[in-house]
Structure 1
Amino acid sequence: MDYEVKDIKTDIIDASNQVPVVIDFWAEWCGPCRTLGPVIEKLAGEAKGRWKLVKVNVDHPENQHLAQQFQIRGIPAVRMIYQGKLLGEFSGALPESEIKKWLANHLPEAPEPEEGPEELLELAMKQGDRTAALEMAKRIHNEEPGKDEHHVRLALLLLPVGLEDASRLMASLHQPEKFEMERNVLATVEHLKQIAGGEVNLPDTPGAKLYREGAMSFFEEHFEEAADRWIQVLMTDRSLDDDGARKACTALFTLLGDHHPVTDAFRRRFSMALYA
């Protein structure tokens, strides 16, 4: 890679407003310069944009004014500048280990990378914050409309209250066969809506009452109550509504995500009831 300065304003002044610029003042006749050059160029290649190397041949007339500005008395001489300030300097052909220490001591701390909507969505899900996750999912969906993955993710976060909108999103998938599990969740939620509304005939049993109460709690977003009632049904009447309590719990845990407090609190109990 060619690190030689081409334009002082562009390569050094403007660039140093964005990243630290390390300037290597050198000349072809200088033996120590030829020793230092490959080492500092290697480190610049490994810097991944953290800092920029610019080499300045002091024998070129157009560079002599710059050398005078930095008060270069001997070469090789290295200066680090950033946003109008001199951050560090050294002279002579230092070994690689010493240059690394010099860089570590003088480079400003790297800024924390800004978290994008995908990272914020993942963080919200890990924290069990479906409200924040929904806002991020809406933002991602609006910025990149038409992607099946975004439709599905937003649909699950809209459930259960936003059932109609979720159903429309799932109906618009280009490749619905890739999302069989999520479509099964939606079908279960649609069925639970009918259960909660009394549109499905159930036997007059304590288990059926608990099952319907769980569905009603689910649509009120009282997820803990819903999980508790469905697991009770699972333990006493697996056959009710064609194993409806198991399907309801599975749908609930899927749309809440693995890190939601309700999932954490009830998944083990669900597994024990399932295989009791």
Structure 2
Amino acid sequence: MSDQTLGAQHPGAVLRGAVDLSSLRERATTAAAPAPATGDAPAPPLVFDATDANFATVLELSRTVPVVVDLWAEWCGPCKQLSPVLEKIVTELGGRLVLAKVDVDANPQLAQSFRAQSIPLVVALVAGQPVQLFTGAVPEQQVREVFAQLLQLAAQQGVTGTVPQGPVDPDAEQREEEVSALPPLHQEAFEAIEAGDYARAATAYEAALVEDPRDEQARAGLGQVRLLERVQGLDLQDSRAAAAAAPEDPEAQFAVADLDLAGGHVEDAFGRLLDLFAVLPDDERAPVRERLLELFGLVGDTDPRVLRARGRLSSLLF
């Protein structure tokens, strides 16, 4: 099975390029990791931590039951919003899926293999092969829909095993408490995202930034929900046709750039806006620069694609 993608029809699904797990498949490991239950062997937990050292065993587990992989970091506010939702749904599914949690700061090889340029990033493993799901703190109903599609795909690949109700990661309850203890405006944004009300979520994050301009979690969340709000309801073919018909219309080009970024075509999105910036008069360039900076922030300032795009932007400015 080649790398596959689910969730592309969902407006919030920011998908990355194909992942490369070859080095992880080949790595021999003696570290403890979840394994399928056989005979009297204990069942693996439904939610567990995956690491660079034990991931070969996680890949093997995915030949029995689909494995959802949650790439997160301690500093990531949207991660703390999404993780309890994933844990809740996986637990409700009663062992038809398991959830492997990857701290990207502690596991750089996995972060690189999955190209985790923006987190939370959620992918799946079916029979050892990656299936890309979505990026960002998406609403609970959308997670349920994507997981249902994942189970259908797994069944097509013959991966229909279940894990008996084993223990859940002991940190799960603590993470749920952390979500419930979010600052009021962050909690309001999270609830709005779950309801699919991206405009209200953006307003809450904007208010949080007024209270504390250094709130990086609010800044990251605001960028994500603004993108979700903009691409909601857009049709890719119609948007591309409109952009082709009006190559110097910023709004038409913005729509396709947003859709490209949401589809994982990062360089296409940047290239489209940089080409537009290059042909516009100086007094019309500001909105394009602002949109580029916003998209740079979503992908990550240290990403090589961002660094290249920033270099070209600088050359166009000076």
Scaled by the length of structure 1, the TM-score of the pair is: 0.38
Indicate the structure (1 or 2) with the bigger Cα radius of gyration: 1
What TM-score results when the alignment is normalised by the length of structure 2?
Answer: 0.34
Q: Which is helix-richer, 1 or 2?
A: 1
